[in-house]
């Protein structure tokens, strides 16, 4: 199981979730996305997008605040982190800064630990992916209508038509 807690604004969260979906495509791992409402994006997932097949979206619970990275220099802190994480149901807890510092290959980790529970908190990608993956994000009807209306409004604007090489 792969628990992902994307952070930052909408684009960062989408990029993080696309990374998780790519790992799912390659390994079959189940995805649980912990969706926080914060200052950077204060909107629930279901008010932005339709459900994504194979991704379970949940609200955060207090337990996720206690998860600790196992990438500690101090042996005692590393052991304590492993014990806390295991108690909370996770074999691997990987925070954003360690994804880059340790150059962690998530695909290999998932393949080599198929029966483990992973938790990743990041606002960035953690595996390569294809832009086609973004097509899995379908805006809810109300937002899609606003997108279409805005596009129509802008496409009737001479400046927009000139900048985009589209006819008026």
Sign of the torsion formed by the C-alpha atoms of 111, 101, 118 and 91: positive
| CATH number where 104 lies | 3.40.50
Residue span of the structural domain in which 151 resides: 139-168
- 32, 56 contact by CB (below 8 A): yes
Based on the fold, state whether residues 69 and 152 are members of the same structural domain: no
pLDDT in tens, 67-84: 887 777 788 988 998 999
The verdict on 166 and 90 lying in the same domain is no
pTM of the complete model: 0.82
Q: In what order do the strands lie in the sheet with 55-58?
A: 55-58, 31-34, 2-6, 118-122, 92-95
Domain count within the chain: 2
Please write the tens of the pLDDT for every residue from 11-34.
999 999 999 999 999 999 999 999
Q: What is the pLDDT of residue 101?
A: 64
Do 14 and 36 belong to one domain?
A: yes
Where the chain has pLDDT below 70, the residues are 100-103, 157-168
């Amino acid at each position: 199981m792969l628990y992902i807690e994307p952070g930052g604004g909408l684009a960062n969260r989408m990029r993080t979730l696309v990374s998780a979906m790519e790992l799912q495509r390659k390994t079959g791992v189940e995805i649980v996305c912990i969706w926080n409402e914060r200052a950077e994006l204060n909107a629930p997932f279901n008010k932005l997008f339709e459900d994504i097949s194979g991704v379970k979206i949940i609200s955060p619970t207090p337990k996720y605040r206690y998860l600790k990275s196992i990438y500690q220099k101090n042996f005692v802190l590393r052991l304590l982190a492993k014990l806390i994480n295991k108690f909370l149901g996770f074999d691997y807890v990987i925070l954003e800064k360690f994804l880059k510092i340790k150059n962690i290959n998530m695909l290999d980790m998932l393949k080599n630990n198929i029966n483990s529970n992973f938790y990743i908190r990041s606002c960035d990608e953690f595996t390569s992916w294809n832009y086609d993956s973004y097509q899995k994000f379908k805006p809810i009807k109300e937002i899609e209508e606003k997108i279409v209306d805005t596009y129509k409004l802008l496409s009737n604007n001479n400046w927009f038509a000139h900048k985009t090489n589209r006819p008026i």
